[in-house]
Structure formats: structure tokens, C-alpha cells
């Protein structure tokens, strides 16, 4: 099993290596960064799945070229949720005829963020919405196997009392209502050391995601990679999150994208088994 972070808010220097993470790219052929997330996952037989597509076609296209891949090389694209920074680069995959898997509510209604002063439209861009008509779309809220060894979580129950998705709205008919981003799902990779979870933004709550993964698969969770969405979270929530991830037996974490500076600082200081995985990071899992 192999992972490459294709799109992330930062890119890494090829000179900085950890025991687990190798940095790809060269000074002349580099990864581009943007506010977004996309990760390639490859199973034991070389089948590739893309989890999210970043925010723009330009960035995912450049970064795919750096690793020598094209959209047609993927067996499936899985979209974790409907925000622009996860779906913005989808059109080239639709045009290549790659099957797209996501929750039925991912592309429903305009979506907004109300963090900060103003209401910002964070929906899928119009060219993505237009291309959906010709996409091989598989819409399901149930857990499905994308390729052997790689499956989706299905809809994630919200059980903790401290992981509310705040500051999001969605249009429903002619009303604008609070958005819990109910569609957000994660991806599970089965490895010998346990489950590896890939999460887009964790609007469902990272503790809820890990709890559901353990309960529904009966497996130990080895590693969690992705956006933990703790930007602006209180110290209390960050501490509770870290304690509960430890209590749930998670060995390692690679928080990225929307995790937020304060949470990254706390995790890097106090969570044994912390990895940085900006765009261009490659990890082999056995
Ligand atoms: Fe995001
Ligand atoms: Fe999001």
C-alpha cells in the first residue's frame, strides 16, 4: 500500500525526510500548494484511488505530472465532501471516464462558511457542477469497497459532545439552514498494522471518525491522515481530541490541511507518532 499527498496547503522540501515519509519532487519539477486536499492511494496490486481533488485543476494537474500520473491511471475517485477545496479539480477525472464515488448529498445545494465576518460561498465550482451530468457517479451513504483493500466509511454517526461542525450553512430549497456536512465520509486502508484512515476535513469530528472506524470494522486504528479541522478550536477541544485519539489506541497521526496552527503545535509537541505530510509526501504501508 502506498500513499502520496498530491494537494495540500503546503509543499515539503525533498531534503527533509522522516523514517516513514519520503518527499518527492526535485528543484526543477516541484509540487504546487493551495488551500485544498488530495491524496493518492495505491493498493498491493497497483490499483490507484484518488481521495479528493484539491481546489483547482491547475494544481492537481501539475502535481500529477510531477509523479508521472494522469487522471486515466485511477480506478476511482472518492470525494469526501462537497466543499470547493476537495472537489475543484474533479473535471479532468470525469473527462477521463473515472468512476466517481461520493455521498448523495455532496453536490446538493450551495454551501457557505460563516467563519470570520462574512458569508463565503464554498460550494463546488460551476464547471464541476456542469460536468457532473456526464460523470460516472456512484452515490451512496453506505460503506463500499473501491478497490481491494481500500473502502469508504459510509456516513459517520456524530456521538461526541465537543465536535460540532460550526460556522457552515447550506441552501435547502429556498431556505438557508445550518450545515453539519452530513455527507462527509472517510477512507479506510487495510494494512497489517491496522486500519489507516484518510479524512478530508473531519467536519464529522476526528474522534467520531476513529470511533466509527473501530466499531464498524473491529480493527485497530494504526494511522490517521488528513484535515482534522481544529482551526480556531478551544484548547479544551484540542486536548480532548488528543486524549481521545490516544484512548482509542491510534498509533500515529499525520494532521494536515485544515487542522490549524494551534492544534498542529499541540500534536507535534505531545502526540508520539506525529508525521508531517505536505504535498509531495510519499508513505509506504505494509
Ligand atoms: Fe477542506
Ligand atoms: Fe470542508
Task: Give the pLDDT of residue 17.
Answer: 65
User: How does pLDDT run across 263-279, given as a tens digit for each residue?
Assistant: 999 999 999 999 999 99
Least confident of 19-33, 97-111, 151-165: 19-33
User: How does pLDDT run across 162-213, given as a tens digit for each residue?
Assistant: 998 889 999 999 999 999 999 999 999 999 999 999 999 999 999 999 999 9
What is the enclosing helix (H) or strand (E) of 2? strand 2-7
Centre of ligand 2 to C-alpha 243, Å, is 24
Compute and round to an integer the Cα radius of gyration of the chain: 17
Centre of ligand 2 to C-alpha 36, Å, is 9
Centre of ligand 1 to C-alpha 6, Å, is 14
**How would residue 242 be classed by pLDDT, with cut points 50, 70 and 90?**
very high
**How would residue 59 be classed by pLDDT, with cut points 50, 70 and 90?**
very high
- Report angle CA 176, 180, 183 to the nearest 5 degrees: 105
Question: In the chain, what are the helix, strand and coil shares in percent, each to the nearest 5?
Answer: 25, 25, 50
Centre of ligand 2 to C-alpha 192, Å, is 30
- Looking at 3.60.15.10, 3.20.20.70, 3.40.50.300, 3.90.1150.10, the CATH number of the domain 2-284 comes to 3.60.15.10
- Euclidean distance between CA atoms 123 and 126, whole angstroms: 9
Centre of ligand 1 to C-alpha 181, Å, is 11
Task: Give the pLDDT of residue 14.
Answer: 64
Centre of ligand 2 to C-alpha 203, Å, is 7
CA distances from 93 to 76, 124, 236, 257 (A): 9, 15, 41, 22
Centre of ligand 2 to C-alpha 81, Å, is 7
**pTM: predicted TM-score of the whole model, two decimal places:** 0.97
In the three-class reduction of DSSP (H, G, I as helix; E, B as strand; rest coil), residue 247 is classed as helix
Q: Which three cell numbers stand for residue 224?
A: 490517521
Return residues with CB closer than 5 A to ligand 2 (ion).
83, 201
| Residues in contact with 29: Cβ distance below 8 Å, sequence separation at least 6, in sequence order | 65, 66
In the three-class reduction of DSSP (H, G, I as helix; E, B as strand; rest coil), residue 70 is classed as coil
Q: Where are the domains of the chain?
A: 2-284
The chain-wide mean pLDDT, for the chain, equals 95
Centre of ligand 1 to C-alpha 214, Å, is 24
Amino acid at each position: 500500500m502506498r500513499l502520496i499527498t498530491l494537494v495540500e496547503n503546503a509543499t515539503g522540501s525533498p531534503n527533509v525526510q522522516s523514517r516513514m515519509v519520503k518527499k518527492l519532487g526535485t528543484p526543477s519539477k516541484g509540487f504546487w500548494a493551495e488551500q485544498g486536499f488530495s491524496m493518492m492511494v495505491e493498493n498491493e496490486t497497483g490499483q490507484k484511488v484518488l481521495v479528493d481533488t484539491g481546489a483547482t485543476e491547475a494544481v492537481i494537474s501539475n502535481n500529477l505530472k510531477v509523479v508521472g500520473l494522469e487522471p486515466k491511471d485511477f480506478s476511482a475517485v472518492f470525494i469526501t465532501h462537497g466543499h470547493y477545496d476537495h472537489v475543484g479539480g474533479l473535471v479532468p477525472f470525469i473527462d477521463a471516464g473515472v468512476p466517481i464515488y461520493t455521498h448523495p448529498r455532496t453536490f446538493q445545494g450551495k454551501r457557505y462558511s460563516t467563519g470570520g465576518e462574512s458569508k463565503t460561498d464554498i460550494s463546488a465550482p460551476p464547471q464541476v457542477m456542469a460536468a457532473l451530468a456526464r460523470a460516472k457517479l456512484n452515490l451512496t451513504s453506505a460503506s463500499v469497497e473501491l478497490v481491494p483493500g481500500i473502502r469508504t466509511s459510509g456516513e459517520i454517526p456524530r456521538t461526541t459532545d465537543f465536535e460540532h461542525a460550526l460556522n457552515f450553512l447550506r441552501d435547502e430549497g429556498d431556505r438557508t439552514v445550518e450545515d453539519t456536512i452530513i455527507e462527509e465520509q472517510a477512507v479506510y486502508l487495510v494494512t497489517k498494522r491496522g486500519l489507516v484512515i484518510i479524512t478530508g476535513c473531519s467536519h464529522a469530528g476526528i474522534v467520531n471518525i476513529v470511533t466509527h472506524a473501530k466499531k464498524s470494522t473491529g480493527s485497530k486504528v494504526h494511522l490517521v491522515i488528513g484535515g482534522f479541522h481544529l482551526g480556531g478550536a478551544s484548547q479544551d477541544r484540542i486536548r480532548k481530541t488528543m486524549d481521545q485519539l490516544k484512548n482509542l489506541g491510534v498509533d500515529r497521526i499525520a494532521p494536515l490541511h485544515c487542522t490549524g496552527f494551534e492544534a498542529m503545535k499541540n500534536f507535534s509537541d505531545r502526540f508520539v507518532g506525529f508525521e508531517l505530510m505536505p504535498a509531495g509526501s510519499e508513505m509506504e504501508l505494509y
